[in-house]
Structure 1
Amino acid sequence: MTTSVITSRSQLVNWRNAVFVLFAVNGFGAATWIARTPAIRDALDITIAQMGFLLVGISGGSIVGLLLSSHLLHWLGTKRTILGSLAIASVGLLLMGLGTEVLASYAFTFLGLALYGFGTGLCDVAMNVEGAVVERTAKKNLMPLMHAFWSLGTVAGAGVGAAAAYADVGVGIHLGVVSGLMLVTAFVATRPLRGDAIAEPESATDRKERSGFAARMAIWLEPRTLLIGLIVLGMAFAEGSANDWLALAMVDERDVSYATGALLFGVFTVAMTVGRVLGGPLLDRFGRVPVLRVSAALAVVGLLAVIFIDQPVVMVSGIVLWGLGASLGFPVGISAAADDPAKAAARVSAVATIGYLAFLAGPPLIGVLGDNIGLLRALLVVVVLITVAGLVSFAAREPAANSSR
């Protein structure tokens, strides 16, 4: 890796904005299929438990992408990894729509979900590593704002999904159009990326230690990395359970329409976005640990309100608190994992992989429980995991050299 210098503010702004766009297009793609989960379930004529196992496709694909990410980043660099991963994700989204509506095939839909999961899992790590380099170059706390753009993408995706459901647009057409838009955006937005050319000064020994396969795998034995992963796991459950089940739970157990279910998911994504936009200043003022503890408390209170109180105003308020509480766990965990630039890719990969276990284990677990005790009561498992994340939030504390607190 050669050292390069950002020669003008416009270069830095273009680079930063490209990363913002990449986060947004990923969020838009995710919300596109999430908002149509009730229609996907009905088109395939499957039970809640079968739906849970179908979602293992995206989670399993994501885990594979995450596990390979640090090695692919070492071989290909962030720019080519992001472009390739988004191309794979767009193909997966297209296959998902074909499997649901055209073929009505559970197996084909599962394949589409797996490809989409692989692409987005790989892209998640690559764009977060690129974003961490932007942060260090700009000398500003930008990671929450980057994740806010992911949430803005989900807001837009949920809105388009609700409109498509209301207009009775087929899942195949909807997902196919979004697949094409995602692919075009990937080619345009990756052009200004510069993370492969910007490096922290390092010795030859540092480069060897950072790039070796054994060194990248040894990250998995670091206690702090594993604890940060546990924080991300709990908060990923908070976010992922809403992504997978909120719209469907509202349709099945609160008797709302498909369009209303998609809109309530949109409320959650708006709350997530607001939390991430406000996250940077809050982190600068109070630090990671207090912010994470308050976030966990908000998510627990909101989720309990949604589970137990069948009253529209309380339900919507609970969804808002749930979204605000879940908003900062992932970006703060990624920032903490990237504290050491020399090992950022490997640590971000490890932490993200642990977090994505929520997306792997969560759908079948919640689905099976939902078939027996109801979807909303099954979400009590998520309450427990969020509580654990709050209790171990001390692991994300800023390095002493970088904190004035």
Structure 2
Amino acid sequence: MSKKELILRRNALFAVFLLPGMTFASWVSRTPEIREILDISTAMMGWIIFGLAFGSIFGLLSANRFILKTGGRFVIISSIIFLSIGLSIISIGILIATSTIVFLGLVLFGVGYGLVEVATNVEGAKLEKIAKKTILPALHASFSAGTLVGAGLGALAIFIQLPIYIHLSFIIVIILTIVWSAYRFIPEGTGKFIITNEKIKTPLKVNLWKEKRTLLICLIVLGMAFAEGSANDWLPLAIVDGFLVEPTIGTAIYAIFLSAMFLGRISGGYFLDKYGRVIVLRILAGLAIIGLTLVILSTNLVFASIGVALWGLGASLGFPVSLSAASDDPRGAVARVGFVSVAGYLAFLVGPPILGIIGEHIGLINAMSIVLVLVIIAGIVSHSAKELKMTD
């Protein structure tokens, strides 16, 4: 592969990594208004968000099978179509103020979200091998940049009082245009090659439930992914309800969280290489603990905003570092990475709706205490992510 082809392929992946983040943040940025339009409680909003969790888990668990048969590029294109159809149905549900239709739209949206998360990471891993340099952290930073773009467009849409269905329709046009422009630079069959090759190279069967280190890594990813997912699903609403501010302010503070996540991911590689996983994870867990405590206990929006920034920075590297730790031992690495990934995405996607149901009774801000406890546990067991020194 020529240098020019490699650059085009890399840039295409950067563009594709933006899309799930942008669409997800576009939905989240309008959730305070959506709740009002549907005239539902916080608990009912939590049940509706379960549609997203359900669809995403289906997409995540079935992605490898589809990639094996069709290759990563086809799955990426299909997943973006699912995201677009899901957003369209959500828009219709909001337009006619029907919760059931919004729920169904979120299910399809979730399927696309789960599929694209796996397929893009498969493509990114393959590109990393070809380029012989670390690329995945920067690609994940591109996802975070997408969330920033989505939140920014959401804040603008709220400011100019753009109807939600028009806003989401605009997002659909953007993501379809980007994937149409980028897909030709992503080769066919990448995923099939990787999965087949991994199966040949890694025939070892492992009992993951008996591996102490793997289970402790799952605790790290559970705490950190839950911290990230809870903010993504509930932060705008929590700020609106907890501090009695306008939706525009809630979305702006959500953008602070996303900016901190992006900063942590774009700079994380340097600190991980210099200081190692354990020290970095412990410091980040400490920052997240301080940040969440400020958000939960503060009655001042400025201090809460500082807390949100620390929360985002602290949660930024938990997921990717856990996946790297799970892959240290090449014998059974695929099984371990898959196991940790499912744990992380379950926390990221299923945990927040449960938080919403609890938040109906004690308030969303107070419900974040559950997130705080899990982050504390993640910090305590962070030693399990220490790099393994493999011998021949």
Same fold (TM over 0.5): yes
Report whether the alignment pairs 1:388 with 2:382. Answer: no
Correspondence list, 1:61-210, <5 A:
61-101=55-95, 103-194=96-187, 196-197=189-190, 207-208=199-200
How far residue 234 of structure 1 moved from its aligned partner, in angstroms, is 1.2
Q: Which residue of 2 aligns with 1:36?
A: 30
How far residue 397 of structure 1 moved from its aligned partner, in angstroms, is 3.0
Aligned partners of 1:74 and 1:291: how far apart in 2?
A: 35
Task: Mark the CA change 1:225 to 1:118 in structure 2 (over 3 Å): closer, same or farther.
Answer: farther
Letter in 1 for 2:183: T
Q: Which residue of 1 aligns with 2:6?
A: 12
Aligned mate of 1:25, from 13, 19, 30: 19
How far residue 31 of structure 1 moved from its aligned partner, in angstroms, is 0.6
Letter in 2 for 1:93: L
Question: What's the TM-score once normalised by structure 1's chain length?
Answer: 0.89
Q: Which residue of 2 aligns with 1:335?
A: 324
Letter in 2 for 1:128: N
Aligned partners of 1:252 and 1:245: how far apart in 2?
A: 10
Aligned partners of 1:90 and 1:327: how far apart in 2?
A: 27
CA RMSD of aligned residues (A): 2.7
Stretch moving more, 306-315 or 56-65? 306-315
Task: Mark the CA change 1:362 to 1:203 in structure 2 (over 3 Å): closer, same or farther.
Answer: closer
Aligned partners of 2:333 and 2:79: how far apart in 1?
A: 19
Per-residue CA deviations over 1:75-111 (Å, capped at 9, x if unaligned) read 222111111112111111111111112x211111001
Report whether the alignment pairs 1:261 with 2:255. Answer: no
How far residue 348 of structure 1 moved from its aligned partner, in angstroms, is 4.0
The question of whether the paired residues in 1 share the 8 Å contact of 2:67 and 2:191 is answered with no
How far residue 195 of structure 1 moved from its aligned partner, in angstroms, is 8.0
Aligned mate of 1:397, from 383, 386, 389: 386
Q: Which residue of 1 aligns with 2:236?
A: 247
How far residue 73 of structure 1 moved from its aligned partner, in angstroms, is 2.0
Q: Which residue of 2 aligns with 1:293?
A: 282
Letter in 1 for 2:113: T
The question of whether the paired residues in 2 share the 8 Å contact of 1:93 and 1:112 is answered with yes
Task: Mark the CA change 1:229 to 1:126 in structure 2 (over 3 Å): closer, same or farther.
Answer: farther
Aligned partners of 2:257 and 2:47: how far apart in 1?
A: 24
Q: Which residue of 1 aligns with 2:225?
A: 236
What SS does the aligned partner of 2:350 have?
Answer: helix
How far residue 180 of structure 1 moved from its aligned partner, in angstroms, is 2.3
Letter in 2 for 1:70: N
Aligned partners of 1:91 and 1:340: how far apart in 2?
A: 40
How far residue 284 of structure 1 moved from its aligned partner, in angstroms, is 1.1
Letter in 1 for 2:371: V
Aligned partners of 2:338 and 2:79: how far apart in 1?
A: 15
Letter in 2 for 1:333: S
Report whether the alignment pairs 1:279 with 2:273. Answer: no
Stretch moving more, 331-340 or 41-50? 331-340
How far residue 396 of structure 1 moved from its aligned partner, in angstroms, is 3.0
Task: Mark the CA change 1:194 to 1:398 in structure 2 (over 3 Å): closer, same or farther.
Answer: farther
How far residue 158 of structure 1 moved from its aligned partner, in angstroms, is 0.5
The question of whether the paired residues in 2 share the 8 Å contact of 1:133 and 1:195 is answered with no
How far residue 177 of structure 1 moved from its aligned partner, in angstroms, is 1.6
Letter in 2 for 1:320: A
Gaps of 5+ in 2: none
Q: Which residue of 2 aligns with 1:312?
A: 301
Task: Mark the CA change 1:289 to 1:73 in structure 2 (over 3 Å): closer, same or farther.
Answer: farther
What SS does the aligned partner of 1:398 have?
Answer: coil
How far residue 233 of structure 1 moved from its aligned partner, in angstroms, is 1.8
Letter in 2 for 1:36: R
Task: Mark the CA change 1:341 to 1:11 in structure 2 (over 3 Å): closer, same or farther.
Answer: farther
Stretch moving more, 301-310 or 181-190? 181-190
Tell me the number of residue pairs that the alignment of Structure 1 and Structure 2 aligns: 390
Gaps of 5+ in 1: 1-6
Task: Mark the CA change 1:75 to 1:198 in structure 2 (over 3 Å): closer, same or farther.
Answer: closer
Task: Mark the CA change 1:229 to 1:194 in structure 2 (over 3 Å): closer, same or farther.
Answer: farther
Q: Which residue of 1 aligns with 2:311?
A: 322
Task: Mark the CA change 1:142 to 1:401 in structure 2 (over 3 Å): closer, same or farther.
Answer: farther
Q: Which residue of 1 aligns with 2:291?
A: 302
The question of whether the paired residues in 2 share the 8 Å contact of 1:200 and 1:341 is answered with no
Aligned partners of 1:72 and 1:392: how far apart in 2?
A: 35
Letter in 2 for 1:77: G
Task: Mark the CA change 1:71 to 1:202 in structure 2 (over 3 Å): closer, same or farther.
Answer: closer
Task: Mark the CA change 1:76 to 1:199 in structure 2 (over 3 Å): closer, same or farther.
Answer: closer
Task: Mark the CA change 1:203 to 1:308 in structure 2 (over 3 Å): closer, same or farther.
Answer: closer
Task: Mark the CA change 1:207 to 1:392 in structure 2 (over 3 Å): closer, same or farther.
Answer: same
Task: Mark the CA change 1:289 to 1:190 in structure 2 (over 3 Å): closer, same or farther.
Answer: farther
Aligned partners of 1:72 and 1:88: how far apart in 2?
A: 14
Aligned partners of 1:174 and 1:202: how far apart in 2?
A: 38
How far residue 114 of structure 1 moved from its aligned partner, in angstroms, is 0.8
Stretch moving more, 17-26 or 27-36? 17-26
Report whether the alignment pairs 1:50 with 2:44. Answer: yes
Aligned partners of 1:201 and 1:303: how far apart in 2?
A: 39
Aligned partners of 1:120 and 1:93: how far apart in 2?
A: 11
